[in-house]
Chain A
Amino acid sequence: GQSLEQPSEVTAVEGAIVQINCTYQTSGFYGLSWYQQHDGGAPTFLSYNALDGLEETGRFSSFLSRSDSYGYLLLQELQMKDSASYFCAVNSNYQLIWGAGTKLIIKP
């Protein structure tokens, strides 16, 4: 089967750093994407890793280890507007295979 595992909920304090982990098991793998989705909104693209290592985009960084079938999203200097659900998704052949999402709760 194909599956992605990520925590259902993470709580952090404004200004802090939080890491959201994702492990995957899929039949095809081209890369790992991360999306943000606010309640009632559309998913918006955050980052994509095709190769092992760290990709940095502003306050957000994403890491991939293909040998471990593992990746994470790192959010720094958390702001209240970062409260949302975060999804990891595997680029597999012609589709994205999604995890169930991690709800990030930020406390002041």
Chain B
Amino acid sequence: ETGVTQSPTHLIKTRGQQVTLRCSSQSGHNTVSWYQQALGQGPQFIFQYYREEENGRGNFPPRFSGLQFPNYSSELNVNALELNDSALYLCASSSSTWLAGGGGTQYFGPGTRLLVL
């Protein structure tokens, strides 16, 4: 059992709306990463938070933003939703040894499936 939880499990929004997805990391992990996985594809890195600071970002526009809280839980916010934002959004937590190639692993939550109509 990974211990990473995400909410909600499913969400339906319309184009132009805003959405907030939540993630609780595994106990003892201070690093949270968010990924977007379109159907039939591998996950794409959105950004990563370490000790409440964003310390890495993939090729996603600024309307994708995030937060990490003192308890290391995290939020992903997406503004001005577009149809191609429909995807599975995955949160992964890891210890700081994972950073900069320290090895170890990322533990993934079950994901939030977002449908934009």
- Chain A positions within 8 Å of B, measured between CB atoms, are 4, 30-31, 33, 41-45, 48, 50, 87, 89, 91, 93-101
Chain A contacts of B28 at CB under 8 A?
none
Residue from A42, A50, A98 in contact with B42 in the complex, judged by beta carbons closer than 8 Å: A98
Chain B contacts of A43 at CB under 8 A?
43, 90, 108
Count: A-B pairs, CB below 8 Å: 63
B45, A42: Cβ atoms under 8 Å? no
Residue from B42, B109, B111 in contact with A101 in the complex, judged by beta carbons closer than 8 Å: B42
B108, A42: Cβ atoms under 8 Å? yes
**Per DSSP, are chain A's interface residues mostly helix, strand or loop, or mixed?**
strand
B90, A100: Cβ atoms under 8 Å? no
A91, B101: Cβ atoms under 8 Å? yes
Q: How large is the interface on B (under 10, 10 to 19, 20 to 34, 35 or more residues)?
A: 20 to 34
Max chain B Cβ within 10 angstroms of own Cβ: one of A91, A93, A100:
A91
Would you give the shortest CB distance from B115 to chain A, in whole angstroms? Answer: 14
Residue from B55, B56, B110 in contact with A42 in the complex, judged by beta carbons closer than 8 Å: B110
Chain A contacts of B90 at CB under 8 A?
42-43
Bound-complex Cα distance A99 to B40 (A)? 11
Chain B contacts of A33 at CB under 8 A?
105
A95, B41: Cβ atoms under 8 Å? no
